Amino acid sequence: MVRDITLGQYFPGNSLIHRLDPRMKILLTLAFIVFIFVATNFQGLALMLAMMLLVLLLSGVPLSQYLKSLKAVIFIVAFTFVLNLFYGGGDTVWSQHFPGFTMRITNGGISNAVFVAVRIFSLILFSSVLTFTTSPTQLTDALERLMKPLKVLHVKVHEIAMMMTIALRFVPTLLEETDKIMNAQKARGADLESGGFMQRIKSLIPILIPLFVSSFRRAYDLAMAMECRCYHGGEGRTKMKQLHMSGLDAAAAVCSALFCAAVLYCALRFPAALR
């Protein structure tokens, strides 16, 4: 399960999505997140799914990697799916009587469950495109440039962007460390899979303690390395690679705007799917 988590991983490449300016990728990701909630019917959701599928294919990242990113949220999606089955109007598809209440599933509940599940999967997949096709350095520079207006309010933009990117960068490292600790404990005879729920929780203690120790050690080493190199924040720092918008970014913005306009039209033209 640990190996299937792909959050924070970067896959080098030269696809159209890789060549986009990281600022444009962040803005388009935010726009997708907003309009996936603007899409309140299956027509608009289908347009967003078509846009997402096009981006996945243009990214050049294997589809198996995107499917791996879904494994970590399958339980959440399944729980949300089951919960939404019992909320919604329409004709009753299934009902079961219990003392004091009646449990029933309607066609509206099924529609709600499918719609919400697809929406969550879409959010995870499209967000994965950003981290798969953008290096941590590019993310730092892009976030810093996008948050630059906040400097007027004396917000330490560079430090915030650096912290966010370092946290994202160390996710794969910590997952790899967790996998090594689990294998080491299994080699020493630790049983991490059998027993009840509480027994499994207790079996995680030999994993969590060394993981926390290792995490604090890495954080301390990183802080010492930055201090030894006289790091004092972003004031007066220069960039080896400057960010520049190109015609490709303009084309991506225009295509995304057309999709978003179509989704907005569907939201106003057709009835909502959630009921």
CA dist 54 to 48, 120, 152, 154, Å?
10, 18, 38, 40
DSSP state of 101: E
Tokens of 149: 């207006």
Helix (H, G, I), strand (E, B) or coil at 102: strand
Which pLDDT score, from 0 to 100, does residue 124 have?
87
Q: Dump pLDDT digits (tens) for 39-88.
A: 888 888 899 999 999 999 999 888 888 888 787 778 888 888 888 877 77
Listed residue (268, 252, 267, 264) closest to 29, CA to CA: 252
Q: 């913005």: which residue's tokens?
A: 253
Asked if pLDDT for residue 102 goes beyond 90, the answer is no
Across the chain, mean pLDDT equals 82
Listed residue (119, 120, 126, 89) closest to 105, CA to CA: 89
Of 120 and 205, which is predicted with more confidence?
Answer: 120
Q: Dump pLDDT digits (tens) for 159-197.
A: 888 787 787 778 778 878 888 888 888 787 777 777 666
Helix (H, G, I), strand (E, B) or coil at 75: helix
Which pLDDT score, from 0 to 100, does residue 162 have?
79
Residues in the chain: 275
Asked if pLDDT for residue 258 goes beyond 90, the answer is yes
Asked if pLDDT for residue 93 goes beyond 60, the answer is yes
Asked if pLDDT for residue 137 goes beyond 90, the answer is no
Helix (H, G, I), strand (E, B) or coil at 242: coil
Question: In the predicted model, what is the mean pLDDT of residues 15-20?
Answer: 90
